[in-house]
Amino acid sequence: MMFADIEDVKATSIPADERRRLWLVVRIVGDHPLPDGNKRVGWQALTMFCALNDRELNVAADDAVTTMQSIAAGKLDEAAVAAWLAARLDA
């Protein structure tokens, strides 16, 4: 599942907060909008978004690094990232 734009994300059955987290991390890390630091900025944006919405993201450092690298390399699509996030979020 690849989202062409935010309207594609809105049309899915994924809850709103999960769509926003997903869109945020995949677009920053996967689209490489910055000359450097996309994975770091994407990770920080994701963790900040979770914290601001009272969700705790429980991820080991090596798991986070591997996942951000996989998103950046195009090895994980939105569905895979959504599943990864869902398995690591606490209410």
Say what the pLDDT of residue 1 is: 41
Q: Which residue has the tokens 């690094």?
A: 65
Say what the pLDDT of residue 11 is: 55
H-helix segments, the chain: 6-10, 16-31, 38-52, 61-72, 78-88
Domains of the chain, earliest start first: 15-90 (1.20.120.1870)
Q: What are the tens digits of pLDDT across the range 1-30?
A: 444 555 555 555 666 777 788 888 888 898
Q: 1: which 2 tokens?
A: 């599942």
Output the pTM of the full model: 0.77
